[in-house]
Structure 1
Amino acid sequence: MDALFKETVRSEEELHALCGFPNEIVNHKTISRIDRHCRDFISRSPIVFVATSDASGSCDVSPRGDQAGFVHVIDEKHLLIPERPGNRRFDTLKNLLQNPGIGLIFLIPGLEETLRVNGRACIVKDPELLEPLEAFGKRPVLGIGVEAEECYIHCAKALKRSRLWEPPTWPEKESLPKPAAIIADHAKKLGKTEGQVAAAMQESYEKRLY
């Protein structure tokens, strides 16, 4: 770890001594299956954040989003996430080839609590399983199959503090960072201008969402 961080917590005992212990409900809210409540939550969620790591422990978090209910719950232990066209880096999928551990956070717009599902995953190419994930006439080539081991509702404190769903707190659109400018700067050895990057991004959004 970087020498900048000199005073660090080094044990669970120290962690609890500093920050306390979970209450009784928190200790008992985790279940090992996708029950009717979790299924309903997932059916209303248009986005899920997917956390994975490779064999060395290097981590990645990537969003997957579509119309609400795009994640298919197969049964009480299994769900399937469609792999829509992206940037073809395949960070999540490459990690799963090395380490099947996966963590998911499902969000529903306007709801401050989130649903967490942890388990093990694989890359699915079975056409029959992927058929229900078709969108706009296009069936995904691959999907992320997840075997759930832990499911639980995560408290709303983070979203309450961030006021994420409160439009009056959102910054003016004109003041937002410009992704095309950032990418052009980060990949400046390619000699692409902000305008060229913006045009390429727009074409991808318009023609390669599915």
Structure 2
Amino acid sequence: MKFENTIKTEDELRALIGFPSELANNKAITYLDKNCVEFISKSPFLVISTSDEFGYCDVSPRGDQAGFVHIVSEKQLVIPERPGNKRIDSMRNILSNPRIGLLFLIPGLGETLRVNGKATLVKDDELLQKMAFNGKRPLLGIGVEVEECFIHCAKAFKRSGVWEPNSWTDKALLPSAAKAIFEHAKLPNTSLESIQERLEEGYSKRLY
């Protein structure tokens, strides 16, 4: 299927959507004030958006104890890089294109904090030691030079009911990550059970 009826200019888009209010236009700031610092200190989860030099995009989650992101100053923060699958998609993108977008979430709160800026990969030992957990410091961190931050309204969370337990799908009906990985990867000498075991082992033994 080819999309036929598309919007090609901002003028067309504005004619359909309209313009932001004065409040929406003026809510962004260029540094981490006390409100942003408080939000980040209570956030155990964020989403990182990056792209490479060709514009190919990637979105990746990061999560840890609330306040795991280290604030260096009102213009700088560092996200610790914990053990993962070693695809390093976000970090490879940052090496070729430093532009980054962050979305901080707090469970139960509909509003989110958006932070945009420039990223770099840092390996300063003294800095990384401040983000150690159970005696294990991250191998490196994603440093962000803050350029823009603002609160995003709760409409998406209210529409989705994502924080409302009575809207959640029964666990027995949830998609199986192991099944999807098994069918996508199609690796020889593997089974659905072996993939599930690998996932469970990683969750129990390699979080830090």
2:191 is aligned, of 168, 172, 193, to: 193
Residue 106 of structure 1 corresponds to 104
1:209 corresponding residue in structure 2:
207
Report the equivalent of 2:124: 126
Q: Percent identity?
A: 57
Shift in Å at residue 191 of structure 1? Answer: 4.1
Distance change in 2, residues 1:197/1:6 (3 Å): same
User: Please, which of 83, 91, 94 is the counterpart of residue 93 of structure 1?
Assistant: 91
> Which SS does the other structure have where 2:200 is aligned?
helix
TM-score normalized by the length of structure 2: 0.98
**Letter of the structure 1 residue corresponding to residue 160 of structure 2:** S
TM-score, with length taken from structure 1: 0.97
Instruction: Give the drift of 1:8.
Output: 1.5
Superposition pairs of residues 38-77 of structure 1, within 5 angstroms: 38-77=36-75
Residues in 2 aligned to 1:20 and 1:192: alpha-carbon distance in whole angstroms = 53
Structure 1 partner of 2:171: 173
Query: Counterpart amino acid of 1:47?
Result: F
Q: Does 1:153 align with 2:151?
A: yes
Runs (4+) off by over 6 Å: none
- Separation of aligned partners in 1, 2:101 and 2:3: 27
What pairs with 1:3-82 in structure 2 (closer than 5 Å)? 4-82=2-80
Query: Displacement, 1:60?
Result: 0.3
Q: Could you give the per-residue CA deviations for residues 38-88 of structure 1, whole angstroms, max 9, x where no partner exists?
A: 000000000010000000000000000000000011110000000000000
Query: In the aligned structure 1, how far is the partner of 2:190 from the partner of 2:89?
Result: 24
Paired with 2:114 and 2:68, the residues of 1 have a C-alpha distance of 16
Give the 3-state SS of the residue equivalent to 2:60 in structure 1: strand
In structure 2, the residue corresponding to 1:190 is in which secondary structure? coil
Deviation at 1:189, TM superposition (A): 3.6
SS at match of 1:112: coil
| One-letter amino acid of the counterpart of residue 136, structure 1 | N
User: What per-residue deviation string (whole Å, max 9, x for no partner) do you get for residues 146-187 of structure 1?
Assistant: 000000000111111000100010011000000001100001
Cα distance in structure 2, aligned partners of 1:116 and 1:18 = 25
Amino acid at match of 1:58: Y
Moved more, 193-202 or 3-12: 3-12
